Amino acid sequence: AQTVTQSQPEMSVQEAETVTLSCTYDTSESDYYLFWYKQPPSRQMILVIRQEAYKQQNATENRFSVNFQKAAKSFSLKISDSQLGDAAMYFCAYRSAVGTGTASKLTFGTGTRLQVTL
Amino acid sequence: EAQVTQNPRYLITVTGKKLTVTCSQNMNHEYMSWYRQDPGLGLRQIYYSMNVEVTDKGDVPEGYKVSRKEKRNFPLILESPSPNQTSLYFCASRSDRVGYTEAFFGQGTRLTVV
């Protein structure tokens, strides 16, 4: 079974600075997807960024980018120019790209709560 | 607007009183899932459905039932709720088309069982 580990329960960053959230995962599969979701106080789950395992290029979405190290099974999220609105819980998630039942499931880490200070 | 709609948003109930949390999506998605979120545990899948009349257990199915009679709806049923089912619940859906990777989540249902 796949597992996702987020070892930082809480992080803090000053406004306009850069912060990196860590995520490691364990899988025997070669074809899969990785995601970062943001959960603000409204509880809504918002997709921040996604990465296909077969792509070597790291995904980027505006101020958000990932460092995907497939061999190390690492998938960190970098937030540049942090803003107050970035304060939220961030979840790393894995989904298989093959099969039916396994492809139905997102496996989540336990989350990292990000605080943004002035 | 593409969306997944859960109801109710908040629910307080007593042990043993049957309840249903509804979930509806307007994107004609094949896959639908229910997750529960608990502090320190992240989100865990309860049940999923790959299409109408096709459902299967996720990681934490005990105490829950689901049905998929229509493609758009995927209700979560707690026949005899217990306090350990107090949690935040999310419904999610996604397409099974190749290249469509994103899962769309409902707004969440905060359930308290006393």
Mean pLDDT by 10 residues, chain A (118 residues): 94 98 95 96 95 92 96 97 98 87 85 97
* Residue B83, Cβ density class (10 Å: 0-12 exposed, 13-18 middle, ≥19 buried): exposed
Whether residues B101 and A33 touch (CB distance < 8 A) is answered with: yes
pLDDT of residue B47: 96
Which amino acid, one-letter code, is at A33?
Y
Q: Look up residue A33 and give its two tokens.
A: 């997807």
pLDDT of residue A97: 86
3-state class percentages of chain B: helix first, strand second, coil last, to nearest 5? 5, 50, 45
Which residue in B has a C-alpha nearest to residue A10's C-alpha? B40
Judge whether residue B110 has pLDDT over 80.
Answer: yes
Average pLDDT, stretch B25-49?
96
Count Cβ atoms below 10 Å from residue A83 Cβ, excluding itself.
12
Give B108's contacts in chain A (Cβ within 8 Å): 43-45
Interchain CB contact of B13 with A (< 8 Å): no
Q: Tell me how far apart the alpha carbons of residues B73 and B104 are, in angstroms, rounded to a whole number.
A: 14
pLDDT of residue A98: 78
